[in-house]
Structure 1
Amino acid sequence: MADFVVAGEQKDLAQWLSYLENLHPIAIDMGLGRVKTVQERMALFPTCPVITVAGTNGKGSVCAMLTRILSLAGYKVGTYTSPHLLHYNERIAINGSPVADDAIVASFEAIEAVRGDISLSYFEFGTLAAVHQFMAQHVDVMVLEVGLGGRLDAVNIFEPTASAVVTIGIDHQAYLGDTREAIAVEKAGVYRAGKPALCADPRPPQTLIDTAQQIGANLQLIGQDFGFEMQAEGQQWVWWHKAGVRKNALPIPALRGKYQMANAALAVGLLEAVKEQLPVTLGDIKRGLLEVEWPARFQVLPGRPVVVLDVAHNPHAAAVFRASLDNMGFHPVTHAVLGMMQDKDIEGVIKFVADRIDVWHLAAPKLPRAANPTVLSEIVLAQTPRAKVFQYDSVEKAYAAACEGANEADRILVFGSFFTVAEVMQARGQ
């Protein structure tokens, strides 16, 4: 692999991504030593404010809100998120717009030129490339989403001005632990001494609080130190802070689902935490909440039958997904297009939504890690023996069958994995 980059020969983004997928022997390699060394060689030490967002679910939504509000306030915002749905460029965005292929390639080349014999994972390479690109484009603020955990995630090599943990659920047990208490310690690793450290989980494990105290972070918990109150019969809301700050008559976020209220409160809390470096107006916040977009987070597509896209792939997300479904209007029949990864808690996800689904269309996304639809079928039928269950050899065929079988008044749910949603989006030509 060492001779991948040849003088005078430009590799395109697709070739680079193929190279990175095979560069490191371990797909997920927890630890910061290797990536820190390359960071130092590249002098990747941002001087602008950095907002780091961790959590089991909700990270992307919070980052999207922050990005939109800060962009409207006139700042140049570099946002790093993962994974992507359709194009790698989605991960590295300036003011919400993905950067161009050649810009990412230039950052990859800069990393390759200095890393020497240090092996980097796909995610580590991408994280360095994002910050390299943001520094090259002189952004005013970086919004960085943690990929997995927090303490040992590559994003955590960059010192945050403020950081947050959105939610704490059971996921990635092989890397983070199999209890909320253990996982909370890993996520709280993004906190820093003397810096604002917010948490929007309504029931944070004591271990998160203890870790924040040990670090010396300025911990702020939703419901205790900041939060939200609904107004005007649920049409508006107030953000409050225990210091006496209130922001009134805020609009309901454009992102659907009641859970987005806590995400919005966290985003406003982070903005309040960095207001000295990045002041925004109440008008910026209001407009940003109304204009924010983040695909496949309870995204209801126009037309009939109703199609809902959601990347819910763990029990915590599935519980939130169910609550959002229950707030929809009546639909005679609910079809589900489901594909999941075999290393996920498939039974835990299905149990939260099984009694809300009448017809299942099961398939495996195009990945070696994808669960066989026969396995999905067995789990579905164990929980709802009377359900109608069909299996297909592709997500595209499963979605086509759901569309053919659904009447105009019915609804179709697509969930279980980023990859499942992405394949449906591709099938729809999005």
Structure 2
Amino acid sequence: MSGLMAPQATASLSIWLKYLEELHTSAIDLGLDRVKAVGQKAELLKPAPCVITVAGTNGKGSTCAMLEAILIEAGYKVGVYSSPHLVRYNERVRINNQELDDSEHTKAFASVEAARGDISLSLFEFGTLSALTLFKTHQVDVVVLEVGLGGRLDATNIVDHDVSVITSLAIDHVDWLGDNIDVIGYEKAGIFRSGKPAICGQPHPPATVPAHADDIGAELYQVGYQFEYQIEDNHWNWQCGAFDLTQLPLPNLPLPNAATALMALGAAELDISEENIINGLKKAQLPGRMQRVSEQPLIIMDVAHNPHSAEYFANQLSKIKQKEGKNKIHAVVAMLHDKDIASTIAAMRDTVDDWYPASLTGPRAATAEEILQHLPANCVGFDKPESAFDQALTQAGEDDMVIVFGSFYTVGQITSHLS
């Protein structure tokens, strides 16, 4: 048992978070035994009548945001748990798209602390149980859980959920999940449940995904087979069997994730109208995902931090540049050293004109020098993203674009810098 003294429920959120960071030996500790034992004791394994769990390499956050927006339009009380946050811990728990006060989080932390006894929990495990506590306290109708890492051994997987979703599959988190796409597919598919719908929005997933669904008797809905979608000019269409939705508005978030979200909602058999879907798609947005924060120059921030997400980001930027007649693209980039820096930069290289690499801080941070190894020889590094951003703004003309990407930390620091 830890020798640390737990804070009072009335202590500040910062004091609680410092306590939770010091409580366990490692920030990431994959495995369900400890967290499930506490979850069972606190009766948190079914926090709402309907629970949708979303895993995937990229696209989890935007899929959750679209599920949330459509469900709210349909009149449901919706709880969303997501991670990591950009600026404030409170971003991780939303109820009807609203953050909660610090005091609600600290009360929930105190509740989990009382339930855990001498069981050690990582910060993420503690935070997950706290979120479930908040959803149960607020009596939400639907909970949307974003998986933190992998799926099978992630703390969110203790929950008795009704629909499982995989948004995309690519190699990431190599230190924890390895670099074998079949293994990664198996880890993500670990959230599937016997006899329950399992949605896969990744075209042509590794064989381990349908194989695991078949092994446990999950009802697999695979894009390109059980459901599909097409884009046409300024709208898109979606089909599942004989059910069609046509003339849907293009969302502000990636279309493949919108199609996957619609399948998840259909499989959940909730009472949702076509009007709810249309209005939800129009309203759904998420900070740090193709987020426009200024127009002259155009500033766009995105948490793209691996080759798959960077490729999508580059493609969207090229469309914006052509459509809106923009000139140069100035890129502020800072990353974590355990990411595939070389391939992520390579995915952006043909799109970006001028680079402003910066160092992050912390044990996983990459330095500007590490990023410079993959950039043109004339580039200069900066000691922090804020300095790189200020220099990019100085160099950018009003018809240029300044982009910020590479990590949640990078976007979070610039978000704070601009506020």
- TM-score bin, normalised by smaller chain: over 0.9
**1:270 matches 2:264:** yes
Q: Which runs of 5+ in 2 are unaligned?
A: none
Secondary structure of 2:231's partner? strand
- Give the paired residue count: 414
- Paired residue for 2:393? 403
1:341 corresponds to which of 336, 343, 354: 336
TM-superposed deviation, 1:81? 0.4
Q: Is the 8 A contact 1:365 1:423 kept in 2?
A: no
Q: Which runs of 5+ in 1 are unaligned?
A: none
Alignment of 1:31-430 (within 5 A): 31-46=31-46, 47-231=48-232, 234-242=233-241, 244-255=242-253, 260-275=254-269, 278-329=270-321, 330-381=325-376, 385=377, 388-429=378-419
TM-superposed deviation, 1:2? 4.2
Q: Is the 8 A contact 2:27 2:123 kept in 1?
A: yes
TM-superposed deviation, 1:301? 2.5
TM-score (norm 2): 0.96
Q: What are the Cα deviations for residues 221-257 of structure 1, in whole angstroms up to 9, with x where unaligned? A: 10111011224xx212221002x111122111133xx
Distance 2:7 2:229 in 1: 55
Q: Is the 8 A contact 1:228 1:261 kept in 2?
A: no
TM-score (norm 1): 0.94
Distance 1:300 1:348 in 2: 25
Q: What are the Cα deviations for residues 11-52 of structure 1, in whole angstroms up to 9, with x where unaligned? A: 111111111112111111110000011111111132511000
TM-superposed deviation, 1:135? 0.2
Secondary structure of 2:403's partner? strand
Q: Return the letter of the residue paired with 2:307.
A: P
Distance 2:212 2:128 in 1: 25
Distance 1:202 1:320 in 2: 15
Distance 1:414 1:134 in 2: 33
Q: Return the letter of the residue paired with 1:325.
A: L
Q: Return the letter of the residue paired with 2:341.
A: I
TM-superposed deviation, 1:365? 2.4
TM-superposed deviation, 1:145? 0.4
Distance 2:231 2:333 in 1: 34
Secondary structure of 2:374's partner? helix
Q: Return the letter of the residue paired with 2:110.
A: E
TM-superposed deviation, 1:352? 0.6
Distance 1:203 1:177 in 2: 20
Q: Is the 8 A contact 2:7 2:15 kept in 1?
A: no
Distance 2:395 2:403 in 1: 13
**Percent identity (aligned):** 43
TM-superposed deviation, 1:3? 4.8
Distance 2:266 2:294 in 1: 35
TM-superposed deviation, 1:332? 2.6
